[in-house]
Structure 1
Amino acid sequence: MSVGEEFAQAQVDVKKLGARPGNDVLLKLYALYKQGTQGDASGSRPGMFDLTGRAKFDAWKNVAGTDREEAQRQYVELVRRLQGR
């Protein structure tokens, strides 16, 4: 299976997890997904009253420079760990 196919499958699998991951893990999943699909974060950081938006933007910015395929690979590995594989 190619990285792209594994990434697509991991997106399906993550929705079937038995327990909801903690916020730190959710932010990591979000960041790797965005990096793997769109590349580096662009635009301005959300305002100080948008705490969720800021956290997501900051998490995405933290993986800036990671190429898309590597971000997809890391996403797949994280989902596998969450599944206990």
Structure 2
Amino acid sequence: MADLKKAFAQAQEDVKTITKRPSNDDFLFLYAHFKQAEKGDVSGSRPGMLDMVGRAKYDAWAKLKGTAAEAAMKAYIEKVGSLLQTHK
């Protein structure tokens, strides 16, 4: 688990080095998996209709309900790795 947390922390640093803008779907994937790994299942109420960005983020995170933190970390690390390959 300690190795996974180190790799997760490294992926958080590595994602900052991407020079080409990823798609909105990629951003939502990273956001949702990061939040699931750090905070667990989504909490609070869904943002209103006028907050489209907040609503998209909430929905992406809510789809991961029940996902273990370790699984979310692994998915985040893999996504960052693939983005580093294609978005440099």
**TM over 0.5: same fold?**
yes
Corresponding residue of 1:57: 58
- List runs of 5+ in structure 2 lacking aligned partners: none
Question: TM-score, normalised on structure 1?
Answer: 0.96
Aligned residues: 85
> Post-superposition shift, 1:64?
1.0
> Post-superposition shift, 1:7?
0.3
**Secondary structure of 1:15's aligned partner:** helix
Corresponding residue of 2:26: 25
CA distance in 2, matches of 1:11, 1:64: 22
Within 5 A, what are the aligned runs for 1:2-81?
2-81=3-82
Deviations 1:37-75 (A, max 9, x none): 000001100011000000000000011111001100110
CA distance in 2, matches of 1:43, 1:18: 33
Paired letter, 2:75: Q
Percent identity, please: 51
**Secondary structure of 2:20's aligned partner:** coil
Which consecutive aligned stretches of 4+ in structure 1 deviate over 4 angstroms post-superposition? none
Paired letter, 2:25: D
> Post-superposition shift, 1:79?
0.3
- List runs of 5+ in structure 1 lacking aligned partners: none
